[in-house]
Amino acid sequence: MARAKIPARERLIFAMDVQNADAARRLADTLGDSVSFYKLGLELFMSGGTFELLDWMVGRGKRVFVDLKFFDVPATVAGAVRNLRNRGVTFTTVHGNQSIMEAAVAAAGDVGILAVTVLTSLDRGDLVDMGFQWDVGALVLSRARRALEAGCAGVVSSGLEAKLLRAGVDDRLIVVTPGIRPVENRPTDDQKRVMSVPEAFVNGADYIVVGRPIRDAVDPRAAAEQIQATIAGLFPHA
């Protein structure tokens, strides 16, 4: 299971889904060294002061994933991605067709471009409502192949499709898997295609994204360390 050579403790990406940068700093201080990789998403970015927060996190030795799922005309997406260069950002996300992904990759510099496949809040019924007649797995694999052609570093995919991705594109793309719900802390929420930490990695994930099960825990640091212990057991030599 040692696909990408990633330090075990960096395989956990914590989704910093809080209301503002001050709350993010407080939570990061609480988590301490239990988390070394953070995802900054749309809600937080819209609150203001997020680039300062990004610089603060990078300055503390943290890795940062900017998850804004860019989807616009290619030139606009390229401009947005260009503004993330040389800031210590590890990954950012894009939606869209081949031209959008290619524009993002061309503008990326030191930022890894992750293509969104199918959101974990969607299931086959949702896709049918949106006009897609494909099975979820087939659509994820098709989008992953297009991401590979465009030069993306990886994809964002549910762990349910990670095994299919490994069979279809091998290890040529990084697989980042959200929708992780530890069995002992599995809240009821808007995620439809979820799985546990071991299941995601066994199926082929390189990184997992965990938000609410850590953020909403009585002891967020202990919750993060429990996940880290599970990952360490899966990657004992990392």
Judged against a pLDDT cut of 60, whether residue 122 lies above it is answered with no
pLDDT band with cut points at 50, 70 and 90 for residue 162? confident
What's the pTM value of the predicted model, to 2 decimals? 0.89
Residue 237 or residue 94, greater confidence: 94
34-57 confidence digits (pLDDT tens): 999 999 999 999 998 999 999 999
- What is the percent of the chain where pLDDT is above 70? 84
What local confidence, expressed as pLDDT, does residue 193 receive?
Answer: 47
CATH topology of domain 67-204+213-234: TIM Barrel (3.20.20)
Which residue out of 62, 69, 163, 192 is catalytically annotated? 69
Judged against a pLDDT cut of 50, whether residue 190 lies above it is answered with no
Q: Is 69 a catalytic residue?
A: yes
Q: Rounded to 5 degrees, what are φ and ψ at 225? A: -65, -35
Contact, 78 vs 103, CB < 8 A? Answer: yes
* Beta strands at 37-41 and 12-15: parallel, antiparallel or unpaired: parallel
Q: Rounded to 5 degrees, what are φ and ψ at 142? A: -60, -45
H or E segment at 158? none
Instruction: Reduce the DSSP state of residue 91 to 3 states and report it.
Output: strand
pLDDT band with cut points at 50, 70 and 90 for residue 58? very high
What rounded mean pLDDT belongs to the chain?
87
The contacts of residue 89 (CB under 8 Å, 6+ apart) are 54, 64, 65, 66, 110, 111
The contacts of residue 164 (CB under 8 Å, 6+ apart) are 137, 140, 141
